[in-house]
Structure 1
Amino acid sequence: MSNEPVWDRPEPPGKPSPTPLTRELIVNAAIRLADGGGLDDVSFRKVAAALNAGPMRLYGYVETKDELLDLMVDEVYGEITPPPAKSDWRSGLKHVAHEIRNAAKRHEWFIDLLSGRPHQGPHSLAHIESTLATVRLADIDQVLGVVSAVMAYVFGAVRSEITELRAERATGLTEEQWQRASGPYMARMLATGRFPLLGRVMHESTDRDHAEVFGTGLDYVLDGIAVRHGL
């Protein structure tokens, strides 16, 4: 196994074959599989079958599944457009937040791979650089703190939204149908008087779409940053 990161490792020289391979073809096939059936559908065997190639041929281009997942994540980061050059910090971070949400809606598995250490592919690094550049504070630790706070909200909110979509598919029930099914139990619990605020949520809160909820929560985070740093 090579000690070089996959980003620095050249592809093997092409060979005459009825099914030519490239790293890009492999990654795109893996993304299509993940989009259709989740990360559990991504294996060297299935990717090879999708490309009409033998599984062993893939190892010349990608050595491990972790490398393949890193390449897939980087490919999706390449879909995320950076903020316009003259954006102020708030509109720039809003742009990034909504771009990540949109990417995760197209590729639901993407949010599952965003925890842990930062990704280091070329598209990932360009995304991080352009995001940091939106926050024009002199102290780089403050810049990092601002971006980290926003990303923590974005990842958590998007993960919650994707989890709800998966639950709907798994149960066949929309959120509204699930709430109706659990209504009698919740009515009994609220009747105890122990949960007055939950009662207000159930009876007084308004129904809003996911995009509106996401945007409102994002504004709360950005408002806090503006107060803390006098922006």
Structure 2
Amino acid sequence: MLVWERPEPPERPALAPLSRERIVGAAIRLADSDGLAAVSLRKVAAELDVGPMRLYGYIATKEELLELMLDAVYSEIRPTGDSWREVLRSVAEATRQAVHRHEWLADLIGGRPQLGPHTLATGNAVAAAMHGVDLGTVVPAIAAVNAYVIGAVRREIAERRAERASGTDLRQFQAAFGPYLSRTFATGRYPALATIVRDGPHLTADQTFQAGLDYLLDGIETRIAR
């Protein structure tokens, strides 16, 4: 066929723009919606409407993607305050809030040290706030706060997941098992525990977190004062 008789080929769509930031953003959206199990390079590529092989020019493995996701969320954790106590509290609270926004974060924090730029910036701000304090106190103090926050948020997220899996919230759970505890405590075998359950304060998750953090910071302050 001569050129003026030959039909033109169908127009090829332009390639969608791509960057690590867009890839990580898509992965976070998937994880926020359906958890880490929903995150794969293939699913992220589909979210971005690109071929999976294009992603390998930006990210080599899923492990790299998870590291980038974690560091991206650390950009939301911005220490504030004028004293070391205010800064440590702000990081603890901001981390907890970030986990509440991104439930999957509870599964990633607490392993090997993260070395992304946002994570390092947060750590640097905390270390700078404790300038002048003996390093023998600084290192275990920061580690203690990190361990407390990780344990606290994982427990909260475990409770959320239990509620979804069972279809019952904490109050319904307590109501279901309350009669059993009453019968058990009536035997007199667990008097100390019975007193706590009957007469102790019933704190909300927020109150529990803040109280535990106060006890920890008070202990650090006492150690520094020595």
TM-score (norm 1): 0.88
For residue 134 of structure 1, what is the amino acid of its counterpart?
Answer: A
Q: Which amino acid aligns with 1:56?
A: M
Superposed displacement of residue 69, structure 1:
0.3
**How far apart are the structure 2 equivalents of 1:199 and 1:169?**
29
Partner Cα separation in structure 2 for residue 38 and residue 122 of structure 1: 24
Per-residue CA shift, 1:103-149, capped at 9, x if unaligned?
11100111211122110000011011111122234432321111111
Structure 1 CA distance for aligned equivalents of residues 92 and 79 of structure 2: 11
Match of 2:153 in 1: 158
Kept in 2: contact 1:104–1:158 (CA 8 A): yes
Partner Cα separation in structure 1 for residue 86 and residue 45 of structure 2: 42
Q: Deviations over 1:189-227 (max 9, x none)?
A: 222212112212321123322111100000000111111
CA contact (8 A) 1:190 1:199 kept: yes
Pick from 102, 105, 108 the counterpart of residue 110 of structure 1. 105
Among 32, 50, 72, the residue aligned to 1:53? 50
* 1:23 corresponds to: 20
Q: Report the counterpart of residue 35 of structure 2 in structure 1.
A: 38
2:162 alignment counterpart? 167
Larger Rg: 2
Equivalent AA in structure 2 for residue 146 of structure 1: A
Percent identical residues: 51
Aligned residues: 214
Among 215, 219, 223, the alignment partner of 2:214 is 219
CA distance in 2, matches of 1:207, 1:79: 31
Instruction: Trace 1:62-101 onto structure 2 (pairs within 5 A).
Output: 62-84=59-81, 87-101=82-96
Q: Distance in 2 between matches of 1:131 and 1:104?
A: 19
Post-superposition CA distance 1:16-41 (Å, at most 9, x none): 93322111111000001111111111
C-alpha distance in 2, partners of 1:43/1:204? Answer: 49
Gaps of 5+ in 1: 1-15
- Measure the CA separation in 2 of the matches of 1:221 and 1:23: 38
State how far apart, in whole Å, the 2-side matches of 1:136 and 1:182 are: 50
2:9 alignment counterpart: none
Amino acid at match of 2:168: L
> Any gaps of 5 or more consecutive residues in structure 2?
1-12
Aligned partners of 2:79 and 2:88 also within 8 Å: no
Matched letter for residue 67 of structure 2: D
CA contact (8 A) 1:82 1:131 kept: yes
